[in-house]
Structure 1
């Protein structure tokens, strides 16, 4: 194997234990508050037997194990790019154990661009035409766009830049014509950018807190307003920077956040965050609408807990190409519609 291939494969390993990341157990990647990523096993080992405090091995910032969180974009990308990963391993010409373990993650780890380059990633979206990825996060430049090989193509959305300012990104999607659309919780707006990162449209329309969004095959955008409890459809001519229509299509939802549009049927899935009861951290509800916005069905955490052995708290949703809904929890759950 060439030296450059070995370098790429080394990016697939935890930088402390040099074991490959995985979706479950001790290999699951966790974000530290400083933005660096470690596997769950190393977080536990560094915290010691008392499990009170640990020191980041890269920047020395102290934190507690309870302050860590799942690296959701990495886990989502791991699932999305798994088929592509097998092809990448073949292209590398290796049948060794390291390559086999790395097949699902090669593009992912390169997309992350090293440890700590993304700060609190909040959203990720695939570019329909190029196969690249757009990631929203709290770094200096809020949006990073990666090519299919995992290299960063451009960064934009620096706070304070009048031409493409993004104050606090909550989610991102990419339309079929290549425009990047972001929900900005900082000024409660939806902002669109062209392929070069230039701002072309900003829509406010009286939003209370626009949160999740996803693009339809016709380049319309379905988005949630978490505080208003509503679902909107936004139609625009992004090439000209003109808003055509922003219409509320559902109301009386409970803190809706993540949303996904099925590419085959046009069905819409929304994750609602129900209020906490007692000492519980609350629960979530998966609500499914048809393309005409008729209610198809609902299932909440209690219902999912009857099927799955662990407590389910859904945080994100996406569709694969066959129209199967994928919920993000502590692991990926497939739901056929």
Structure 2
């Protein structure tokens, strides 16, 4: 079942970018002087101007919203799965993520289910049938590969796609997203944005 994923991903979202708040990183909630809370990325963009809601001057100042971070952390802990879950990942094109040797490819049939494991820090790891993990690599420009360890580069944040139950985006340690090129659906890639091509349907394996 993927119910535990839906429960976790349905948590609070940044009102600007509509991405789920996270305990740390770019998605961590920060509160402006006026009291409105945004994710770290949107807070930086508002820092030199005014609050997008009440138009109050921000003076470039914000503080971490520790209370909200605790709520997110508690929600994630309560929603953790009892074990691991096997799923297939279907792209916007209808193709499925699969593994071949050290490479990640896309197939017309769901031939390679992945095991999703909770990492205990609000992120998950995706393990191929041969036991290796999907990795965003520590070299940002080298894309995706399969490796035999699970460090920060092998952990991804699951984020719900608003209005599309069962669909998620996968954000890497580098804040890039697992996606498929619009003009070439043969290979998965890491993209700097999160649009329709970076959305994946989770199907029970």
TM-score by length of 1: 0.21
Higher relative contact order (CA 8 A, sep 6+): 2
**Larger Rg over CA atoms:** 1
TM-score by length of 2: 0.32
